[in-house]
Structure 1
C-alpha cells in the first residue's frame, strides 16, 4: 500500500506481505518508509531551504549534532532524536530510524508506485534517486487492536 502524503517533500510507503514468518515482515510490520521526493524542475526539495536558518544556527550553536546537519531533513530528524525525545520521553516520540537505500531501489520504487499516485503529483515531483537514505517510522495511521 502506498500513500503520497506531501506534494513536494516525501512519499510514504507501507510494506505488505502475505507471509507473517519472514524476518523482513517482523522488522517492518507496523512501519512506513518516508522517501524524499524532488521537484520535476530539477530542484531538490532540500535545495529550497538550507539545513538551518541563521536564527536556528544561533539557537543550536551549542548542540554539536544539529549544527553540521547537511540537509534540513537530517536536521529535523536529529532535532526529534536529541530534543523532543528528551523533553517528552522516548515512549511518546517516534524519531524513526534512518535506513540506507540505493538509487536502484528508489528508481524501482518510483516506477512501481507511478500508477498509484495522483496525476497532479506525478507531474510535479519524483522520488529523489540521489538520496541515500529514507526514514523508517511507526505507522501512526493505524491503531493496534486493544490499545486505543
Structure 2
C-alpha cells in the first residue's frame, strides 16, 4: 500500500497494480498482451466496419449533427486524409482536445483523467496521417470538428 503509484507485482496468473490510493488485481490473459502487441489497423475507405480490440468502428455520412458521446464522434469528412490508422498511443503523442485551446500531450490527458496503467494500455487512437482525429472512447480532436463551413459530416461510432 505504500508503494509508488504505477508499481506492479506479477504472479504466474495475475497482476497487482498500485493506482493512486487503490490496488487493482487483474487476471493475466493472452488478450492483455494483445493490447501491447496489436499492430496498426489501416482504413482505406469509409464503407466498411473495422474490428479493433475495443469493438467495431463504423463510418456513416450523415446530414444532421447529433449528440456525440465517448463512443460516437462527428467529424468534418473533408479534413480527413485516407488512409486512416487505428493504433495504440505512444510517448510524445499529442492532440487538440475538442473544446480546448491548444494542444495537450496524451500522457498529461491520461493523468488528468486519472487513467490506470491498465486503462492506458487499452487506449486506441484514430489517426489521419500523423494527426490524432479521435482518442477512441475518450475525446475528439478539435482540428477535425464540424463547423459552419462543413459540407460533409462523418459519424464514427465504436460499438
Same fold (TM over 0.5): no
For normalisation by structure 1, the TM-score amounts to 0.23
For normalisation by structure 2, the TM-score amounts to 0.22
**Structure number having the greater strand percentage:** 2
